Amino acid sequence: MRSVTDTLQQRVTYPLLASVAELHETPLTGLTDDEIVHALREVEQATRTLAAIGHRLIVEASDRSLPSHTGTGTVKKFLMQTLRLSNADATARVAAATSLGVWHDMGGDPVEPRLPATAAAQADGAISADHARSIAAVMKRVPGSTSDADFRAAEQILADFARASSPDDIPRIGEAILARLDPDGHLTDERDRQRMRGITIGRQRADGMSPVRGEITPTLRALLDPVVAKLGRPGVNNPEDPDSPCGDYESVDRDTLAAAAQRDARTSAQRTHDALLALLQPGVAPDALGRHRGLPVSTILTMSVTEVEKAAGVATTATGGTVPLPEALKLAERSQPFLMVFNHDGVPLHLGKTKRLATAEQRMALIAAVRGCSRPGCDAPASLCAIHHVTEWGKGGPTDIGNETLACDRCHAMVHDGPGGWKTVVLGPDSKYPGRTAWIAPPHIDPSQTPTVNHRHHSGELLAEALARIHARKELDRQHHREWLRELQQPSGDAA
């Protein structure tokens, strides 16, 4: 028994543990900064791949009925006892192995993992267990009636996205994909939404406060968001600050606003509260609210001509929300929001209600094309962005729209020539995304210095792309199949 264990250890685990022990004892002080960054990356990649190997071991343990042989009964309890795992940890590992592992059917043949692209990315060491969990959480919510191709496309997008982003970024792109997979509401339709709508203002307590809870429809949200963005902006309508600009603060200069924002210690929940309070002051109505960051304080809806023709899909708002198309069209009839309709190439066909604002027109076109902060991974919606000149004026950059993109204040500040600075470039006509602004991360984030575009505000385009890839792959499979058939039919001397 002893010798069998020793052989197994030598064959399987000894080299791994020996490398780890060696690495553990390697002094790090002699390494350069670049070598430390490189080592961090390699260790992370190995940890991620090891998680995928963990799935294989869990599948193998289950196939061999080790839980029942050891009297633990379930795989989870087997892991908890053997590895001394917490209940939560063991549950998470079993869930991960269930969706990412290669299991076997009744005949013993391998079955493709439920989330194949995610499993492949983890096996490559490109994504962590955290990434995989976020992806699985999104995929769990894909409606059952979704076609197989759409399901695969959605998972592929999320896995590709995860390879270049943080796990924190996945839920948001997941929401956008779900909104597109379920535009007419297989999960929820307009009737469901109307049934769920409601705001409950609870009984006022002894301390004078009242609890509020409820669910609002996409339409109310689309109307509310721009108002809250303006009236709840950091620094304004702040009851804790006697010098805070109030109401429509359009005439207040930038420095005063910036100084007020600096003093503002409110939470975003408090700012939303104060925005609603300001909205209900006499004489304030959304139409009289003027502009916010150069844009009218009213709902901006962006939709594609395909979606209008089909009367299905979702319209995107400048505040980063989505409104199902039928409701967006109703909203457009009733309250005349700024409405932008785009053709297949993203060229504006219709620019509604463009009175008075000449520069706003350019800004609106930018919003429609870019939709939000253009730095890869950033989810700031257009309403929180300023115009960024890709080639700065001082360096001879033109002021036309081809040289402009949207960037939120935080990302805008990341573009500089110093150490750790990001760069931006406009992609040429031969690129996959001509005319789009791509960002180049500093070398410690991306040693390959690859210009990357932000897909977070363009999940529809990603979905189309992934579907095209899947169809192309199927076509390739069919071709291989045909060639293989032809070879079989040809008489061959070698084969015999």
Q: Kindly list the residues in this chain that would bind Zn ion in the complex (CB under 5 A).
A: 373, 375, 378, 380, 408, 411
- Least distance (Å) from Zn ion to the CB of residue 167? 18
In the complex, least distance from residue 383 CB atom to Zn ion, rounded to whole angstroms: 12
Q: Provide the minimum distance between the beta carbon of 317 and Zn ion in the complex, in angstroms, as a whole number.
A: 17
Tokens read off for 205: 């307590």
Rank residues 171 and 352 by Cβ distance to Zn ion and give the closer one: 171
The residue among 210, 200, 271, 281 whose CA lies nearest residue 248 is 281
User: Residue 176 Cβ, how far from Zn ion at the closest point, in Å?
Assistant: 16
Which of these, 130, 93, 128, 133, lies nearest to 115 by C-alpha position? 133
Considering beta carbons, is residue 96 or 407 the nearer one to Zn ion?
407
- In the complex with Zn ion, the residue whose CB is nearer, 380 or 426, is 380
Contact present, 407 and 382 (Cβ < 8 Å): no
Strand 338-342 and strand 300-304: pairing? parallel
Return the SS3 of 252: coil
Half-sphere CA count of 145, side-chain side, radius 13 A: 8
- The least distance separating Zn ion from the CB of residue 318, rounded to whole angstroms, comes to 15
d(CA 3, CA 16): 19
Q: Rounded to 5 degrees, what are φ and ψ at 406?
A: -105, 140
Nearer to Zn ion, 59 or 407 (CB): 407
**From the CB of 405, what's the least distance to Zn ion, in Å?**
11
CB 382 to Zn ion: min, Å: 11
Instruction: For Zn ion, give the closer residue by CB, 55 or 375.
Output: 375
| Complete DSSP assignment for 24-67 | HHS-STTS-HHHHHHHHHHHHHHHHHHHHHHHHHHHHHHHTTHH
Q: How far apart are CA 133 and CA 296, in angstroms?
A: 40
Q: Rounded to an integer, what distance in angstroms lies between the CA atom of residue 48 and that of residue 120?
A: 11
User: Is 429 buried (19+), middle (13-18) or exposed (0-12) by CB count in 10 A?
Assistant: exposed
**Choice between 162 and 384, CB closer to Zn ion:** 384
Nearer to Zn ion, 96 or 382 (CB): 382
